[in-house]
A and B are shown apart, each in its own frame.
Chain A
Amino acid sequence: MWWKLTSVILLLYTILAGFLVPLKSGIERVEPNTARTGEQVTVRFYGYNTFFSRPSEVPIRVWLYYNSSYALMADVVRPINDTILEATFRMPINLPEGKPFVLLNALADHPTEGASILPIAFTLHQTPGSTQIPLDSAWTARPVEKLHPQKGFSFPYQNILYETIRNTYFHVPMWFVLLFLFAASVWYSLKYLRHPETEYDRRAAAYAEVGILFGLMGLASGMVWATYTWGKPWSNDIKQLMTAVALLIYFAYFVLRGSFSDPEKSARLAAVYNVFAFASLIPLLYILPRMFDSLHPGATGNPAFGSQDLDNTMRAVFYPAVVGWTLLGFWIADLRIRFQRLKDRTLGLD
């Protein structure tokens, strides 16, 4: 009983914290986002959750920077309102390393509200015929320094994602629950193979069934998320494809169970099949997707949940979310097991 209560409390916390904790401020876009060397340009910064017009003793500082050594600071910064800011730059006469163009990151630093960055926000092109060496001193005159951290408990701002970063607490735990349920399923399948008792088979089947439910909810919620971030529900992303394959393998488990009239034979073969299904689940969900380019975080060899996807504020919600959803999954599976036990006894099969 205690664990069911824990599940409810953790999920309540997940939903409340997941929705109520604000997002850090960020820069959505800058306009214009391109210029030529030697020009004087007024760039508009469009912020998200920013407080550009909040008064402060020191003015807001704004940069367009190439890397830690080359940065351009705005000469004039004029906040229009909390989310729009105008910054006037005098572009240097040439570019670092003699490049034809450079991609610059946008940075706005408010003395009390903290700094926000938009990577690769601006393109600066070299005007033909003025590539003379040495490099314009504007690149190094006022480097990015003494930034102010954003205070308070808040989730990271990421372009494209915006508030949907909160889906980390709802979409991602589905896959954790699926893994735990399928692991429980294979555990009871192995137990059944050692001691063929109906109870073990019942449990294996119920955990697999509820695991599939969470897989379907994970797939559907992922497709909703993808529609508004990747642009379409299904992008044939390697992780999407492999997940679909894994779920089909588990569907086959139930097809196999249903195709024998002898319950003992059915249970035995299903248990063997379940071991192979679980063995294929691991490469399908956790190894193959990392070997190919993917839209998902954690592709091409990077572990998922690096510091860019999940910071400490998010961990404080994400881990309770995983535990909460997992307990809920086992609760539902528990109901399924108890139903099957009752049914088997009523039909005289146990």
Chain B
Amino acid sequence: MARRILTFLLWVGISLPAAFAEGNRDFMRETGKIYVVVVTLLVIFLGIVGYLVRLERKLTKLEHLSKDDA
């Protein structure tokens, strides 16, 4: 699970911006590399959201479980 999270975060953080960099302009290095900060924040945001989604799924499963009992 952790490896999948890390792989996803790295894909968003490194591979995706690098894909945009193809051609003449590297937008990650433009305007003082400000987009690096944006992507960093995005990686953290997606990490937290990913964890919350995972927690919600577990919660849904638990809800079904207690519904079956009742």
B39 touches A339 (CB 8 A): no
B59 near A174 (CB under 8 angstroms)?
no
Restricting to A197-220, which residues have a CB under 8 Å from any CB of B? 210, 212-213, 216-217, 219-220
Whether the Cβ atoms of B32 and A48 lie closer than 8 Å is yes
Considering the chains assembled together, what is the distance between the CA atoms of A23 and B6 in angstroms? 31
Report B46-70 CB contacts with A as 1/0, cut-off 8 Å.
Answer: 0110011001001100100110010
Cα(A15)–Cα(B45), bound, Å: 12
Q: Which residues of B contact A18 (CB under 8 A)?
A: 37
With an 8 A cutoff between CB atoms, is A224 at the interface?
yes
Q: How far is the CB of A181 from chain B (nearest CB, A)?
A: 13
A220 touches B43 (CB 8 A): yes
**Inter-subunit contact B37/A166 (CB<8 Å):** yes
Q: Does A221 contact B (CB under 8 A)?
A: yes
Q: Which residue of B lies closest to A336 (CB)?
A: B55
CA distance A224 to B6 in the complex (A): 12
Q: A213-B51, A346-B69 are in contact. Are A224 and B33 (CB under 8 A)?
A: no
Q: How far is the CA of A66 from the CA of B58 in the complex (A)?
A: 64
Q: Which residues of B contact A225 (CB under 8 A)?
A: 36, 40
Is the C-beta of A228 less than 8 angstroms from some C-beta in chain B?
yes
Contact of A227 with B by CB under 8 A: yes
B2 engages A339 (CB within 8 Å): no
- In the complex, the answer to whether B62 meets A217 with C-beta atoms within 8 Å is no
Given A212-B2, A228-B29: A339 in contact with B14 (beta carbons within 8 A): no
| Residues of A with C-beta under 8 A to B52 | 332, 335
Q: Is the interface of A mostly helix, strand, loop or mixed?
A: helix
A171, A212, A216 pick with most chain B CB within 10 angstroms? A216
Contact B28 A228 (CB under 8 A): yes
Number of A-B contacts (CB under 8 A): 102
Tell me, yes or no, whether A342 is within 8 Å of chain B by CB: yes
Residue of B nearest to A251 (CB): B2
Is A101 part of the binding interface, using a Cβ–Cβ cutoff of 8 Å?
A: no
Q: Classify the secondary structure of B's interface with A.
A: helix
Chain A 167-178 per-residue mask, 1 if CB under 8 angstroms from chain B, else 0: 100110010000
In the complex, residue of chain A having the shortest beta-carbon distance to the beta carbon of B9:
A220
The listed residue (B6, B37, B48) touching A219 by CB distance below 8 A is: B6
A227–B19 Cα gap in the complex (Å)? 13
Within 8 A of B (CB), among A313-337: 328, 332, 335-336
Which residues of chain A have C-beta atoms less than 8 A from B34's C-beta? 162-164, 166
For residue B24, CB closer than 8 A to chain A, the reply is no
Residue from the list A48, A224, A335, A343 in contact with B40, Cβ < 8 A: A224
Contact between chains at A174 and B44 (CB < 8 Å): yes
Q: Counting CB contacts under 8 A, is A298 at the interface?
A: no
Closest CB-CB distance, B30 to chain A, in whole Å?
Answer: 10
Name the B residues within 8 Å of A164 (CB-CB): 33-34, 36-37
Instruction: Tell me, in angstroms, the Cα distance from A221 to B31 when the chains sit together.
Output: 20
Task: Give CA–CA (A346, B59) in the complex, Å.
Answer: 12
Which residues from B are CB-within-8-Å of A336? Answer: 55
Q: Which residues of B contact A (CB under 8 A)?
A: 2, 5-6, 9-10, 13-14, 17-18, 28-29, 31-34, 36-37, 39-41, 43-44, 47-48, 51-52, 55, 58-59, 62, 65-66, 69
28 contacts between A and B (CB under 8 A): A18-B37, A161-B33, A163-B31, A163-B37, A171-B40, A174-B44, A213-B5, A213-B51, A216-B47, A217-B9, A217-B47, A220-B10, A220-B13, A220-B47, A224-B39, A227-B14, A227-B18, A228-B33, A228-B36, A247-B2, A251-B2, A328-B48, A332-B48, A336-B55, A339-B62, A343-B58, A346-B62, A346-B65
